[in-house]
Chain A
Amino acid sequence: MSDAAATAARAAAQLDRLSRWHPAEYVFWALAAASLLVFPSRYLLISDIALTGLFALSLDLVLGYAGILTLGHGAFFGLGAYVAGIAATHGLRDPLLGMALACAAAALLGAATSLLVLRGSDLTRLMVTLGVAAVLLEVANRLPALTGGADGLQGMDVGPVLGLLPFDLAGRTAAVYSLATLFAVFLIVRRIVHSPFGWSLRAVRANPLRAASIGIAVDARLSVAYTIGAAIAGIAGALLAQTTQFVSLDGLAFHRSADVLLVLVIGGVGWLYGGLIGAVLFKLMQDQLATITPQYWEFWIGLVLVALVLIGRERLAAWPRALWRRVAGRQPA
């Protein structure tokens, strides 16, 4: 074999490794599926974890890969929840149809607002994302005929998934539905981040000047990433609406956006599994703490955030990855 061919073969192998499934990934998803069998009494929690993980995954695409600092990601989640909820109160019973509508609405809003987000610095982005979410909350508040206003949206009628699985009180369908959706969307996102498009996002985040000078249309890339992130957040919102059969203004509140940031950083930013692991930890913690001091739950979130930063995000987020390495036997990409 010639030198050039040998180098090319090594290069191909190295690039192959980037997107290959690690054994730990199989373990992760096997555990997720097994949780349905092992904890039949916690279906609702499993569903909640899955949709939170999906929400955090969408933020990872926006923040972790594209590097867009946002405080208003909850807007897309809340919009998705309302669209799916309103669809279900207006006779559109099919959950997948409701989810598609929610996804489309969130994508539209994401595409429209991405034009504002592209402008300026981190600071402008914080302001715009916060502003968009605040406007949406205000709109939902002012249209009680459509959204139920402060009382929340009631009277949703969600049909069976695929016409086969009706939602049950124990939440078994909800858990299966949420987990399956999470897995399907995860596969798509995984594909995206390993594509040249995904790599161009990393390049833009690392150095927009250089990315542009190798021909990458920086603004267009960020805009597309933001829109995809918004669409996925909309799906997560639809899951919340359909599995709990209720939507309230809470879905659009600021703490949604802040919580999902925390979820993502607990597990680590920019490696796909951060949001999922973060969701597990966050929801378990919430489950425990909320039973002790339900109304002051936000205090503990605040404490965790402060501690997380002071101790060092990298150091803390290193441990899920370290555990991962131990299971996988090598470093994840």
Chain B
Amino acid sequence: MLTVLFDGIAYGMVLFILACGLAVTLGLMNLVNLAHGAFAMAGGYAAAIMVNRWGVPFLAALPLAFLFAALLGLVLERLLYAHVYARPHLDQVLFSIGLVFMAVALVDYTQGSQQQFIQLPAFLRLRFQIAGVSVGAYRLLIIAVCAAVALSLQLILSYTRFGSRLRAAVDDPRVARGLGINVSLIFAVTFAVGSGLAGLGGALGAEILGLDPTFPLKFMIYFLIVVTVGGTASIGGAFLASLVLGIADVAGKYYIPAFGAFAIYAVMIGVLIWRPQGLFGRVATR
């Protein structure tokens, strides 16, 4: 029972890392970016290639995967996304679905359609017994990294000047510009960090989630649920939503395998009926 809970927490943590960037770009910047999963996939494949082909240590590959996805995000933001911030949601949906399709086809073409596995170092394959619960080192690492990321994100957004500038830029870009805030730089950096975190999540979670070219499509609904259910008031909302989702998904698949896949949709519908604006605060509307 506790093992399931533990696995669920680890799974939820990965979802959080994957989706937290989207919580900011979609929740705060009101950009419907359905291609968020493509950055996660990019990070995952980058890590797989580095570890499996070039022999980069797994722990070193994680920050590199972050950097790779962040850089990709930065380039695409400057080249493409910057043009669609002010567009209607329909345009953003079409645009980002287009990117997803291209990413899926490109990865399929260059890497093949089979599932990728990242070779974990031996010490991550260890298992411990803590208070009778079987705990894998790999999942412990995931939980540790994700907790650190969540905490620092919350601190950065709440207490730093960057955080307050981002909030100002989101609230009213024109006023923010008038105050001398470089809005497009802030958006670009935010987008890049969000994409980088997705990349980190993709690398870290490849083992749990499964990495293949359809990754961005498979997890699109998960990301949307995290953002919608969590609301956009705080990082904390997305964090709790990720945990609920992760635990529901793992527990559902474990206890009622025949209908386990529906657990997350049950959560989604339940929350929508109970709290249409998300569990934690209001969803940004246009």
Interface residues of A (CB under 8 A from B): 63, 69, 71, 116, 119-124, 126-128, 130-131, 134-135, 138, 142, 254-255, 258, 261-262, 265, 269, 295-296, 298-299, 301-310, 313
Contacts and interface: CB of A to CB of B under 8 A. Distances in A.
B133 interface: no
B101 A135 contact: no
Nearest to A305: B98
Identify whether the interface residues of A are mostly helix, strand, loop, or mixed: helix
A261 B272 contact: no
Given A69-B89, A122-B286, A124-B283, A131 B100 contact: no
B228 interface: yes
Given A124-B272, A296-B109, A306 B102 contact: yes
Interface stretch (B159-167, B177-185, B202-210, B258-266): B258-266
A298 B101 contact: yes
Interface stretch (B3-11, B51-59, B114-122, B216-224): B216-224
Contact of B227 (A123, A128, A142, A302): A123
A252 to B, nearest CB: 13
19 contacts: A69-B89, A120-B283, A121-B283, A122-B285, A123-B284, A123-B285, A131-B265, A269-B90, A295-B108, A298-B101, A299-B102, A301-B98, A303-B98, A306-B102, A309-B87, A309-B95, A309-B98, A310-B83, A313-B91
Given A123-B32, A124-B276, A124-B283, A306 B95 contact: yes
Interface of B: 26, 32, 34, 80, 83-84, 87, 89-95, 97-106, 108-109, 217, 220-221, 224-225, 227-228, 258, 261-262, 265, 268-269, 272-273, 276-277, 283-286
Contacts of A254: 217, 220
Residue with the highest number of chain A CB atoms closer than 10 Å, among B32, B92, B224: B224
Contacts of A313: 91, 94
B89 A304 contact: no
A135 B263 CA distance: 10
Contact of B224 (A127, A265, A308): A127
A63 B94 CA distance: 13
Contacts of A130: 220-221, 224
B15 to A, nearest CB: 14
| Closest 7 A/B residue pairs (Cβ) | A305-B98, A302-B101, A299-B105, A302-B102, A306-B98, A309-B95, A121-B285
A307 B102 CA distance: 12
Nearest to B226: A127
B283 A258 contact: no
Contacts of B277: 120
A307 B80 CA distance: 10
Contact of A127 (B92, B101, B217, B268): B268
A302 B99 contact: yes
Contacts of B83: 310
B80 A69 contact: no
A71 B95 contact: no
